Amino acid sequence: MHDLKFIRENPEEFDRLMTVRGGAAAGAEILALDEKRRALQTGIQTMQARRNLVSREVAERMKQGDAAAASGLTAEGQELKERIAAAETEERDCARSLEQLLETLPNLPRPEVPEGQDESGNVEVRRWGDPRRFDFPPRPHYETGEGLGLLDFNAAGRISGTRFVILRGALARMERALANLMLDMHVSVNGYTEILPPALVRDDALYGTGQLPKFQEDLFRAGDGHWLIPTSEVPLTNLARDRIWNAAELPLRFTAWTPCFRSEAGAAGRDTRGIIRQHQFSKVEMVSVTRPDQSDAELERMTACAEGVLKRLELPYRVIILCTGDMGFGATKTYDIEVWFPSQETYREISSCSNCGDFQARRMGARFRPEGGGKGTSLVHTLNGSGLAVGRTMAAILENCQTADGGIVIPEALRPYMGGMERIDP
């Protein structure tokens, strides 16, 4: 949600930033609704003051025995009551229209974010690791997994339909091993607090992080007022909602391994084979809640934490900064980490780390009290990042660590989590 004060003071800049985000200029409509709402509020206050004065005058006239004057004032008071009720209804409708407009508009980009319309405007920041040179044609991850008999798309299709998979044997164990490696790193090395959150959340939780109302079609509704989480960013970030934190308590850092559920409504025809884009997948998430002056450094730290997992697994990757037209709805700045996929000879996203500024905090009512106390409070900043998507990490291992005979060499860092297993042989 946006700061109305900023829009009032910078309407042209607001429209410019909305335009580079790929949206429409909405400043004039916002200001018109805001001015109308404030005028109605002023009118209501004026009428309420007059009604209170009339009530006192009625009592005074009755004491004086002036029934005629009291009757006239009573009639005025009744008229004021009706006019106030009508104005309050109009003010609520106006406020709701303003809120509905604001809640559909994406966050504003930071000045250092490159301008661009789509992914072609993204800028590479750095690379790590050299892609492996194969002496045989590298297979796609799904061919290797199916060849080993450990990825079963057909059985999953009979049970659940497309974009599901059954993991068997060593790959089922690898899923668990990867998540445990990631959690151990984020908790023991990176200082995050591990959380086991619900996988079902209510409307207000999804509204707080920006998934509702704009992205309802991307979600799975579970019924009874609940939704399946598209990412544990939703419950983790909402741990800060409707709270006033002390500055000394910040930053808060949470991590969780959960199943995630996405309809992939906007991804028809993309990555239909393999485990890159599934309706159900697991992910280790990182969420930070910080003071505004901490959030820039926290984004760099969070991105480094996600990179650390890929370094441990010795998987080549690159980091890019997303341009204005490619960032997510709630982000003010985003780094994507892309891991190398040799079968495609390209890098594919495996983590996205975003600073949302106070955009989500304003929707959630998450604030903090500065050091030294006092009555004033300020909105916190929220950040989230994948640390990492477990299925995509497994896919990257199947591609980068494959052998000519169709097997897999397990990364050394993962072997203790797989009972010392070094290879998955065909």
65 φ/ψ sector (left φ>0, alpha ψ -120 to 50, else beta):
left
Pull the structure tokens for residue 400: 């980068």
3-state helix, strand, coil in the chain (%, to 5): 45, 20, 35
Helices and strands, counts by H and E, the chain? 12, 18
Question: For 402, which DSSP code?
Answer: B
How far is CA 245 from each of CA 111, 251, 295, rounded to the nearest angstrom? 28, 10, 16
DSSP SS3 for 90: helix
Q: Does 352 qualify as catalytic in the annotation?
A: yes
Q: In angstroms, rounded to a whole number, what is the distance separating the alpha carbons of residues 339 and 393? A: 8
**Catalytic hit among 163, 233, 392, 399:** 392
| Residue 322 CA to its chain's centroid (Å) | 15
Largest Cα–Cα separation, the chain: 108
**Catalytic hit among 288, 352, 354, 386:** 352
DSSP SS3 for 279: coil
Strands (E), 203-242: 220-223, 226-228
**Catalytic hit among 88, 175, 264, 349:** 349
Q: Does 264 qualify as catalytic in the annotation?
A: no
Count of beta carbons in the 10 Å neighbourhood of residue 48: 15
**Catalytic hit among 243, 277, 348, 369:** 277
Beta bridge partner(s), residue 15: none
Q: Does 277 qualify as catalytic in the annotation?
A: yes
Pull the structure tokens for residue 51: 């009604």
Tell me phi and psi for residue 64, to 5 degrees.
-85, -5
Nearest to 125 by CA among 323, 258, 312, 280: 323
**Catalytic hit among 61, 110, 139, 262:** 262
Pull the structure tokens for residue 12: 């042209």
Strands (E), 361-417: 366-369, 378-379, 381-389, 408-409
Which residues are catalytic, by number? 262, 277, 349, 352, 392
